[in-house]
Amino acid sequence: MRRILSLGLIAALSAITALHAQVIFSDDFEAYTGQLPNSDPNNTNPFDLYNNPCDNTSPLYRVFNVWHGIPAWPNMQLVNTANPYPHPDPFFTPLSCLAQDPFDPQPNPIPPARSGVQMLWALATFARTQYVNFEQRLGDGAYFEFWFYDDDTYGKPSNAMGEFRAYANVNAGVPATTLQSIPSIGPYDADSQVPYGDGTRALSNRYYNIRGDAISGTARTADMNPRAWADFRQVARSKGWHHAAIWLTGDGSAENPRQFTYVIDGITRTAPNPNRTMTTPTLRRLRDTRSGSVQNIYFDDVEVGIGVPKAFSQALFVGRILPECWRTDSNGYADVEGWIVDIEIYDANDNLLATLERRLPKKDPFYNFVDGEDDYTGLIGVPNLLPAGYSHEGTYKFRFSLRGRPFVPATVTLNTPSRGQTIILACGDINQDGCVDDADLLAVLFAFGNTGENLPEDANGDGTVDDADLLVVLFNFGAGC
Q: State the pLDDT at residue 59.
A: 39
Q: State the pLDDT at residue 181.
A: 66
Q: How far apart are CA 364 and CA 352, in angstroms?
A: 36
DSSP code per residue over 238-268: -SEEEEEEEEEE--SSSSS--EEEEEETTEE
Summarised one tens digit per residue, pLDDT across range 391-405 is 999 999 999 999 999
User: What burial class does residue 478 get, using C-beta atoms within 10 Å of its C-beta: 0-12 exposed, 13-18 middle, 19+ buried?
Assistant: exposed
User: Measured in Å, how far apart are the chain's first and last C-alpha atoms?
Assistant: 46
Summarised one tens digit per residue, pLDDT across range 355-371 is 999 999 999 888 887 77
Q: Residue 321 pLDDT > 80, yes or no?
A: yes
Q: Residue 388 pLDDT > 60, yes or no?
A: yes
Ramachandran assignment for 56, one of left (phi > 0), alpha (psi -120 to 50 degrees), beta (any other): alpha
User: What are the structural domains of the chain?
Assistant: 7-313 (2.60.120.200), 317-475 (2.60.40)
Q: How far apart are CA 311 and CA 422, in angstroms?
A: 21
If one compares 202 and 441, the residue with the highest pLDDT of the two is 441
Determine which helix (DSSP H) or strand (DSSP E) holds 369, and give its type and residue range: helix 368-371
Q: State the pLDDT at residue 31.
A: 76
Q: How far apart are CA 89 and CA 98, in angstroms?
A: 14
Do 143 and 306 form a contact (C-beta atoms < 8 A)? yes
Distances in whole angstroms, Cα of residue 223 to Cα of each of 199, 259, 273, 275: 25, 12, 9, 9
- What's the pLDDT band for 62 if we cut at 50, 70, 90? very low
User: Mean pLDDT, to the nearest integer, of 333-338?
Assistant: 93
